[in-house]
Amino acid sequence: MGYDKSDELAINTIRVLAIDATIKSNSGHPGAPMGMAPVAHVLWKKFMTFNPKNPDWLNRDRFVLSNGHACMLQYTMLHLYKYAISMDDMKTFRQVDSILPGHPEAHDTPGIEVTTGPLGQGFANAVGLAIAQAHTGAVFNKPGFELVNNHTYMFFGDGCAMEGIASEAASTAGHLKLGNLIAIYDDNHISIDGDTKCAFTEDVSKRFEAYGWHVQHVEDGDHDLEGIEKAIQKAKDVTDKPSMIKLTTTIGFGSKLQGTGGVHGNPLKKDDAAQVKEKFGFDPEKSFVVPQEVYDTYAEHAAKGAAAEEEWNKLFEKYSSEHKTEAADLKRRLSKQLPEGWQEKLPVYSPKDPAIASRKLSETVLEKIHDVIPELLSGSADLTGSNNTRWKQAVDFQPPDLGIGEWSGRYLRYGVREHSMAGIMNGISAYGTLIPAGGTFLNFVSYAAGAVRLSSLSHQRVIYVATHDSIGLGEDGPTHQPIETLAHFRALPNMMVWRPADGNECSAAYYVALTSTGTPSILALTRQNLPQLEGSTIEKASKGGYVALEDKEAKITLVSTGSEVSICLEAVKYLAENHQIKARVVSMPCTEVFDAQSKEYKLSVIPDGIASLSVEVMSTLGWEKYSHEQFGLNRFGASGPYLEVYKKFEFTPEGISKRAKATVEFWSDVKPLRSPVNRAFQQLI
C-alpha cells in the first residue's frame, strides 16, 4: 500500500486549511475535518475516480458529506484537487456571496453533488444516488460497454446516525442490496451536547448489520492509513450489500481540545491553532499555506481521473455507433430535455367525461406518459393502491435475486418511510438520468418536510404525488386531514404546489412539473371524484390560475382550488337565483406559477373594481394575496362521510353564497376597489 511522509504532509495540510478557514470566518466546525482528514486523503487519492475539469462527468464516483457541518473538509479536498475553488475562495468561507457556504450546497460549489447540512439528509441522498446508478447501469450497460459503474461514498457522523431519516434510508439500502454504496461512519463520540454517552449508547454496527449491511471497524482512524485502505477495498469487493465502515477518530485531532465538544462547532483559539501548526510542521505565523508537494500529489491523481474520462468518452463514442438509440436517450437525459412530442400523450378531458378523483387522473397521466418518458421513476411510501402511482405494466426496482423485480425496474417501494423517500428522491434526481415521483398522503408530506425543503433549495426536479388532500378524505378524520400543509409548502421558495380541479388541470400540473428542470412540485390530489370543468384546458391551467367562468357583470370573483372549484361553480347559480348576484370563478391550481405571470395577465384573472372571495378547505393563510375575503378552515377537520364533513363546515353552494353575499355588501362602498393582485404588486415594489 505504501504510505510515507508525503501522505502525512497532505493530511496535515487538510487539517491546517480547515483551521485557517474557520478562524478567518470566525465560524464553523474544524473538529470533524481534523479528525477525518486521514480517511478523506485515502479515499480520494486511492479509490475515487473523478475529473476536476469536468465535475459533471456521468461515471464519476459520487461523494456525499452527510455530516455537512464538516464541509471545510470537502471544500479543502476540492481546492487541493484543483476544482474551480481558488485560495481566495477558501478565505471567503461562510461569507455573503461566497461559493463556500456554511453547509454544502450543490448549486453554489463545483464538485458538491447534493445539498446537505440538516443531519441525515445526505445519507438519504447517497442512497438515492446509488439507486440511480444501479438503475442507469442496468438500462444502458451492454456486453463490452460498462458505461455506468461508479460508486457512491458517503461520510456520516453520530448526529446523522441519531436522525430518523438516516435509519429509514439505511433500512431501504439494506433491503435493496446496494453494493455500490459505501458509508464511512465518523465514530468520534461527540455531538454538540458533548460526549454521546449522554444520549447515544447503542451499538451502531449491530444496527447496520440488522439492516443487511456489510460492516467493518477500523479502530485507529487517526493513524491507520493501511487499515482504512484495506477496509474500503473490502467494501468495494462486497457487491451484494451496502457497506458501512465504522471509523473511530479523534475529533479535532492535534488540538488542545481534541476529543471534546469544544472543537465541534467553534474555531480554534489562536494559541491552539499555533501549536497545532507547529506540531504538524507548519509556520504558526502563516495561514492558508499549501506546500507544492501536496498540490503535486493530488494533481497526479486528478490526471488519472481526467484520463479515465477520456477513455470513457472513447468507449461512449463506440457505444454510440453500436447502440444508437440508447446513446441518444442517455445524451437527452443528461441534457435534461424531454422526448420530443411527449406532451401529446397527456390526457385531455371535456365536461362530457365522468367525474374522477384527481388521484385517479394522476394515475391516468402516468399510464399515458411512462412509455414516452423512460426516465420517469415512480414509487410510493407503502400507499401504492391509495396514491395510484403505479402504471399497470410497471416493474419494481428490486435486486434481481429476490424474484420480485429488476435493477431496471421503474417502480420503487419506499415502505412506510416518507422522510427518507423524499431524501432519496433528491439523490435520484441529482444523479442526472432520472426524474423521480413518489407518493404519500398530503398530510404525511409534512413527515418529509426537511427533505422537501432541500428539494427546493437544491433545485431538484422531483414530483411529490400527495393524495387524500383535504377533509374530502372523510372518515379517517383530523389526524389524516391536512389543514395547514398547503400554506406551509406554498411558503417554500422554489416550490410548485398544484391542487388541480379536474383532468385538464392534472395534466397541466404534470406538464409544468416535468418541464421545470430546477423546481420540485407537490401535486395535492383528491380521494373523492371531481367533475370535468367547462372552462378548463391544459394551456390555461399551465399558467397557474385562469378564469373558469366569466361574467362581465359579475359583482364578485370566487377564487378557488381543487375540489372546491366545482362547488364554487354551483354557488354561482345559487347566488344568481337566490340573491340576484352575478359571479365569476377563477381556478388557481398553482399560486407560484400564477405569480410568475405578467401583471397584466394576473389582473385579467383577478381584476380591479370587483370584490373577491377565496374558497379552499384549508388554512386561509396566504389567500389575502388573491382575495379581499377568505373562506377556509382554520381549525382541524372532522371524521365522517366526506359530504357530511363538507356540509358541517358549510363548504356547499349555500355556504359559499352566504359569504360571497356578505363580501359584496361589505366591499361595495370601496371606490375604487383595487384587486388584491394590484395591492400585492404595489407592496412588492
Binding site per annotation, positions: 29, 69, 117-119, 158-159, 188, 190, 264, 359, 386, 444, 468, 476, 480, 527
Q: How far apart are CA 367 and CA 345, in angstroms?
A: 10
Rounded to whole angstroms, the Cα distance separating 123 from 217 reads 19
Which residues lie across from 397 on neighbouring strands?
406
Judged by DSSP in three states, 638 sits in: coil
**Parallel/antiparallel/unpaired status of strands 521-524 and 529-530:** unpaired
Q: Is the distance from CB of 526 to CB of 359 less than 8 angstroms?
A: yes
Distance in angstroms (rounded) separating the CA atoms of residues 253 and 273: 12
By C-alpha distance, which of 211, 217, 221, 219 is closest to 242?
211
Helix (H/G/I), strand (E/B), else coil: 265: coil
| List of residues 6+ apart from 299 with CB closer than 8 A | 81, 82
**Distance (Å) of CA 147 to CA 49, 60, 384, 427, 527:** 14, 11, 33, 20, 43
| Site of grid cell 508525503 | 6
Q: Measured at the alpha carbon of residue 210, what is the angle toward residues 259 and 244, in degrees to the nearest 5?
A: 45
Cα 298 from Cα 82, distance rounded (Å): 9
DSSP for 521-556, written as a single string? EEEE--SSEEPPPSS--HHHHTTS-EEEE--TT-SE
Distance of CA 550 to CAs 546, 556, 602, Å? 10, 11, 15
Query: CB count, 10 Å around CB of 25?
Result: 18
Question: Binding site for thiamine diphosphate, residues?
Answer: 69, 117-119, 159, 188, 264, 444
> How many helices and strands, by DSSP H and E, does the chain display?
26, 20
Catalytic site positions? 418
Burial pattern 603-627, b for ≥16 Cβ within 10 A else e, equals: eebbbeebbbbbbbbbbbebbebbb
Q: Which residues sit in the known binding site for substrate?
A: 29, 264, 359, 386, 468, 476, 480, 527
Give the C-alpha separation, 113 to 105, whole Å: 8
**How many Å apart are CA 122 and CA 449, to the nearest integer?**
15
Question: Are the C-beta atoms of residues 330 and 364 closer than 8 Å to each other?
Answer: no
Query: What's the CA angle centered on 576, arms 570 and 580, to 5 degrees?
Result: 155
Mapped onto helix, strand or coil, the DSSP state of residue 216 is: strand
Whether 526 contacts 470, CB under 8 Å: yes
**CA 472, CA 565: separation in Å to the nearest integer?**
13
